[in-house]
Amino acid sequence: MEIARGIIILILWMVLFTSCRNEIKEKSVVQPPAVYVTDITSEPVSIPVQSGGILLSSEEMRLSFKTGGIVMQIMADEGEKVKKGDVLATLNLSEINAQVDLAKSGFDKAQRDYNRARNLYADSVATLEQMENAATALSVARSNLEIARFNQTHSKIIAPDNGIILKQFVKQNELVAPGYPLFLFGTSGRNWKVKTGISDRDIVKINNGDSAVVIMDVWAGVSFPAVVEQIGEMANPLTGTYDTELLLRDMGYRLATGFVVSVRIFPSEKESFMLVPVESVVEADGESGYVFSVDDSSRVSKIRVRVVTLVGDKVAIKSEGGQVRRIVSGGAAYLKDGESVRITK
């Protein structure tokens, strides 16, 4: 009995000794986590200004009659494509033609009066003053006839170029005033423009000629190059933003006025930022995140940074916790502040 008890105690001691030995052995082989390290350099970066906008034809114009009157016929509907020289609308010419006839009769009479006065003056029957008065009356009558014919010619609207009727404001048989627009016309060339609103904080960063990229939902994955053409000098009273226009080339894709777009403008003036791999930034939340800086003793420090923008496969940051020379570029997700690391080449 005593022998059996001794054997059991010996076995327990052996098991306990083996467990402790294994635990000591396991602890002895634990090494610091392996990480990849990248040296940090500052580079000039153009921080894009982002906004939304709408696609428009590069040339738009409001087409109207020179004179007022009743719209007799409209030959183009909203959304219809037209060719240069096509007649789009005409006025009822009854009154206008009567004005031409009246001016023509006045001119014919003034011509006869001038011819008579000139002949009488040649015969010394009429005075020089009488002949000059007749010449003046003839000149006035000729001008009135030219005005009447000009108004007659411009009593129809002709397409100034190949394009599309973007908007129709008037219906047939309506009475319109001189200069009141009937159509909003857009040329159908290959040049387009984007109209966008820029905030006061961003408007001071951009200039005419700055490059931009336009993205459209209808053409997902396609980036349309553009350039800033005109910058608003006064805020829009309704939106509080500055209307800015960009010139865009469609690159052969089918486009239409009214497409909603996203705009990224790249200012020509650049700022200096630290460019780091995307995976080196941890706990990113909007415009902030953290990186792990590595000192000469291979110990890491968790530093808060401001995330500015993505630049290709890197991210531009600014340190909020002092100067950073080296950071962990691989394996940062599981590190703790102040932890020692093993740098992998």
pLDDT tens readout for residues 168-192: 898 889 999 888 999 988 876 667 8
In this structure, are strands 191-198 and 49-57 parallel, antiparallel, or unpaired? antiparallel
65-89: per-residue pLDDT in tens? 888 889 999 998 887 888 888 999 9
Q: What is the pLDDT of residue 112?
A: 93
Query: Which SS3 state, helix, strand or coil, does residue 106 take?
Result: helix
Q: What percent of the chain has pLDDT over 70?
A: 90
| DSSP state string for 262-310 | EEEEE-SS-EEEEEEEGGG-EEEETTEEEEEEE-TTSBEEEEEEEEEEE
198-226: per-residue pLDDT in tens? 998 889 889 999 999 999 988 888 999 99
Instruction: Determine the angle formed by the axes of helices 94-122 and 128-153, rounding to 10 degrees.
Output: 160
Strand partners, 168: 183
Q: What is the pLDDT of residue 312?
A: 74
Helix ranges (DSSP H) in the chain: 2-29, 94-122, 128-153, 200-203
- Minimal CA–CA distance to 249: which of 277, 223, 284? 223
26-65: per-residue pLDDT in tens? 444 567 888 888 888 788 887 888 899 988 877 778 899 8
**pLDDT over 90 at 263, yes or no:** yes
Average model confidence (pLDDT) across the chain: 83
Structure letter (DSSP) for residue 313? T
Burial of 179 from C-beta contacts in 10 A (0-12 / 13-18 / 19+): exposed
pTM: 0.54
Average pLDDT over residues 304-316: 81
Whether the CB-CB separation of 192 and 255 falls below 8 Å is answered with yes
Q: What is the pLDDT of residue 215?
A: 92
101-130: per-residue pLDDT in tens? 999 999 999 999 999 999 888 888 888 888
- Domains in the chain (CATH in brackets) are 34-43+271-343 (2.40.420.20), 49-58+189-266 (2.40.30.170), 66-91+157-186 (2.40.50.100), 94-153 (1.10.287.470)
